[in-house]
Amino acid sequence: MMNNLRQYEVPLQRYIAMMDIQEMNERLYYKLLMDNVEELLPIVYTPTVGEACQKYGSIFRRPQGLFISLKEKGKINEVLKNWPERKIQVIVVTDGERILGLGDLGCQGMGIPVGKLSLYTALGGIRPSACLPITIDVGTNNEDLLNDEFYIGLRQRRARGQEYAELFDEFMYAVKQNYGEKVLIQFEDFANHNAFDLLAKYGTSHLVFNDDIQGTASVVLAGLMAALQLVGGTLSEHTFLFLGAGEAGTGIAELIALEMSKQTGIPLEETRKKIWMLDSKGLIVNSRMESLQHFKRPWAHDHEPVKDLVNAVKSIKPTVLIGSSGAGRTFTKEVVQAMATFNEKPIIFALSNPTSQSECTAEEAYTWSEGRAIFASGSPFAPVEYNGKIYASGQANNAYIFPGFGLGLIISGAIRVHDDMLLAASEALAEQVSQENFEKGLIYPPFTNIRKISANIAAKVAAKAYELGLATRLPEPANLVAYAESCMYSPAYRSYR
Ligand SMILES: O=C([O-])CC(=O)C(=O)O
Ligand SMILES: [Mg+2]
């Protein structure tokens, strides 16, 4: 099968071939994915899954998840019962409004829950039959899709306000009724205006996790913890500048501030002052407070207005620059060079996905910083040669976190997600970076060992759930890593005699 797959030169063709294998022989699909994770992750996941979503209507063969549309209002309970599996442990749900950095793709966003759940199984060991991909179809504001003859969703503009809230409420209630308290609901690729509100609203009544806010935060904090081994200093001795103050940016910033506060005992309101943000209107400063969306307000500090990134970099002099705006090509030569002027080893994260939206390429980061940058990106880049030396960069993608994080919640029977669990996951991941990785300038371990990494993350998350009294699976297993491993799905064929 690998031989066959490699015949295709176009990544999207490999994606389609992989989806066919998943349909035809699920075990084989997971066996291939697990044994060739570094090669196949960029096919079934970021970046190729982004292109698949853009062309979803025309490459559509069979439905792979559950679509719930506005038309099903009042009947969501029945719709859920149409799904052939009854024992569901993880749901990944999107409404398709902000697919990666690609924008509103309507119900073509289904590729994302499907891809994320493939990773839940391959990387985290959750049984495939316990995974349920869902897309809530409330319309789309993407004119091209509305006029596309192959569009598979509702041809109307997005429902907002009360209509949206009621549909979502019915969905969340029906999920609990069908699958119980302990089903994990992962929110994925919602637009900012819904993402923060849904997480706050359902965080106290359901086991919910927003991957873009919380998963991304945890993976970036892990990378920073590892990067400090190369650069030196503690978290609170660094200065952070974000380009992009949405889900990923503010989620990461909040987790960094929380960790700083835990390490130093300094209140959160103070540690936040080490972190600066720039959005499309410029640096987030106090004089803009009135017009800022609520999730940006904690990041407004005293400073004169600054319009653009280069000037913000020159004025703030960050040691860490993080791109999380979803817009590509924004870390220009001037920006990276400025970072390299006042930092011996500038830490640069270009998080936006897929590759086309990356703030800069690995090659640009290394070339413009004369090989000094500690660089990681959301989408994968091949190693780069600069002045005769090979530079390999890490992939700061929430794929490192959510499979193990979810496994930890499931094996402990957790009923709520807590920020301390995110910190535990970051620590577990950072601990997996070996001396050999560091010597190559890597701040993330390779994906080849991901099941071992996930078991360690799961164990730390579960331990935290027990410590916080949020675990319901009692008694607590003595060896959580071994227990996590023993719970993992294996794609081996059964032997019949
Ligand atoms: O899907 C990915 O590669 C990471 C992610 O959550 C996003 O970009 O929204
Ligand atoms: Mg996402």
Residue 497 scores a pLDDT above 80: no
Q: Quote the pLDDT of residue 283.
A: 98
**In the annotation, is 345 catalytic?**
no
Ligand 2 centroid to Cα of residue 51, in Å, is: 14
Residue 118: which pLDDT band, with cuts at 50, 70 and 90? very high
pLDDT mean over 225-253:
97
pLDDT mean over 109-118:
98
Q: Quote the pLDDT of residue 138.
A: 98
114: closest CA among 84, 134, 90?
134
User: Residue 284: CB partners within 8 Å, gap ≥ 6?
Assistant: 245, 276, 277, 278, 292, 296, 299, 300, 301
Ligand 2 centroid to Cα of residue 422, in Å, is: 16
Q: Quote the pLDDT of residue 332.
A: 98
55: closest CA among 20, 93, 15?
15
**In the annotation, is 29 catalytic?**
no
Ligand having the closest approach to the CA of 396? 1
Ligand having the closest approach to the CA of 401? 1
Mean pLDDT of the chain: 97
- Assess contact for 250 and 296: CB atoms under 8 A: yes
139: closest CA among 115, 113, 167?
167
Ligand 2 centroid to Cα of residue 402, in Å, is: 11
Query: Is the ipTM here above 0.85?
Result: yes
Mutate-to-test residue for ligand 1 from 353, 355, 402, highest number of ligand atoms within 8 A of CB: 353
Q: What is the residue with the minimal CA distance to atom 7 of ligand 1?
A: 100
CB-count exposure of residue 430 (10 Å: 0-12, 13-18, 19+): buried
Q: Which candidate in 29, 45, 444, 483 is catalytic? A: 45
Q: Quote the pLDDT of residue 495.
A: 85
Compute the CA torsion angle 135, 138, 140, 146 (nearest 10 deg).
Answer: 100
Q: Quote the pLDDT of residue 30.
A: 98
Ligand 2 centroid to Cα of residue 54, in Å, is: 15
Q: Which candidate in 30, 31, 116, 464 is catalytic? A: 116
- Assess contact for 90 and 186: CB atoms under 8 A: yes
**Ligand 1 site: residues with CB under 6 angstroms?**
46, 100, 189, 211-212, 353, 378, 397-398
pLDDT mean over 453-473:
98
Q: Quote the pLDDT of residue 31.
A: 97
Ligand 1 atom nearest residue 379's Cα? 3
The Cα 99–Cα 464 span in angstroms is 31
Q: What is the residue with the minimal CA distance to atom 3 of ligand 1?
A: 46
pLDDT in tens, 130-174: 999 999 999 999 999 999 999 999 999 999 999 999 999 999 999
Residue 496 scores a pLDDT above 90: no
pLDDT in tens, 77-99: 999 999 999 999 999 999 999 99
Q: How many CB atoms lie within 10 A of CB 324?
A: 28
Compute the CA torsion angle 334, 336, 340, 345 (nearest 10 deg).
Answer: 180
Ligand 1 centroid to Cα of residue 402, in Å, is: 11
Which residues of 174-274 form beta strands (DSSP E)?
A: 184-187, 208-210, 240-243
Mutate-to-test residue for ligand 1 from 41, 43, 46, highest number of ligand atoms within 8 A of CB: 46
Q: What is the residue with the minimal CA distance to atom 9 of ligand 1?
A: 100
Separation in Å, CA 432 to CA 53, 231, 232, 256, 435: 33, 18, 18, 19, 10
Mutate-to-test residue for ligand 1 from 325, 351, 397, 401, highest number of ligand atoms within 8 A of CB: 397
The Cα 172–Cα 394 span in angstroms is 36
End-to-end C-alpha distance for the chain, whole angstroms: 26
Residue 394 β-bridge partners = 376
pLDDT mean over 302-329:
97
Residue 483: which pLDDT band, with cuts at 50, 70 and 90? very high
pLDDT in tens, 371-403: 999 999 999 999 999 999 999 999 999 999 999
- Assess contact for 366 and 391: CB atoms under 8 A: yes
Eight-state DSSP code of residue 214: I
pTM of this prediction? 0.98
pLDDT in tens, 227-239: 999 999 999 999 9
Q: Quote the pLDDT of residue 494.
A: 82
Ligand 1 atom nearest residue 45's Cα? 3
- Assess contact for 284 and 296: CB atoms under 8 A: yes
Ligand 1 centroid to Cα of residue 267, in Å, is: 31
User: Residue 454: CB partners within 8 Å, gap ≥ 6?
Assistant: 123, 124, 125, 403, 404, 407, 484
